[in-house]
Chain A
């Protein structure tokens, strides 16, 4: 079956522009995560959606970052007024989100964002 997909695979933008990154989770997965992988900060958690619950936004680095998950499926990560330090690979993951116990996270291939 289809895995997690992300688009675009690469995005080059100018400092100050807004960007939108998209994630299509595995069908039936109620949990969705965004992570960022950068040279300076390694792999870091950004935001977590679980079903209809309020998202866990504790990893968002600034108020320029926001994310939505429409209809419990597709998610969009938006970065406003991009800065050069936003350059990174943005990874999306999804899982079944079952209560109790462990749910394996499946990762997408990532979107490489370059801010000039």
Chain B
């Protein structure tokens, strides 16, 4: 079985501030972990993925995430928020035995000028 918990359904930051979106997972086997972004009225876009290589993963638009097995976490960060980062972010998990993605409930990021 696998599950994902995203703490904070809404996060608001100021432009230029650090972005931290939290994700904790549960998986009985080594997981694959993903962050997707969804802009208003658009589809899901893959930001970054962890697939058992380097634990610090860099993605598009300056985002990165670190896989911490001991904490079962995969938090998403960006050093400096841009207005264009305002969107909904989803953490997801899968594994070799269950290819379908299990998503967290999402975090809506608001960036204040």
Contact = CB atoms under 8 A, between A and B. Distances in A.
Given A48-B99, A102-B32, 14 more contacts: A35-B103, A42-B105, A42-B106, A43-B90, A43-B106, A45-B102, A91-B44, A100-B96, A101-B51, A101-B96, A105-B46, A107-B43, A109-B42, A109-B43
Interface of A: 31, 33, 35, 42-45, 48, 50, 56, 59, 91, 95, 97, 100-105, 107-110
A43 B104 CA distance: 8
Nearest to B52: A102
Contacts of B60: none
17 contacts: A33-B99, A33-B100, A35-B101, A35-B103, A42-B105, A44-B103, A45-B102, A56-B100, A91-B44, A95-B99, A97-B99, A100-B96, A102-B51, A103-B99, A104-B49, A105-B46, A107-B45
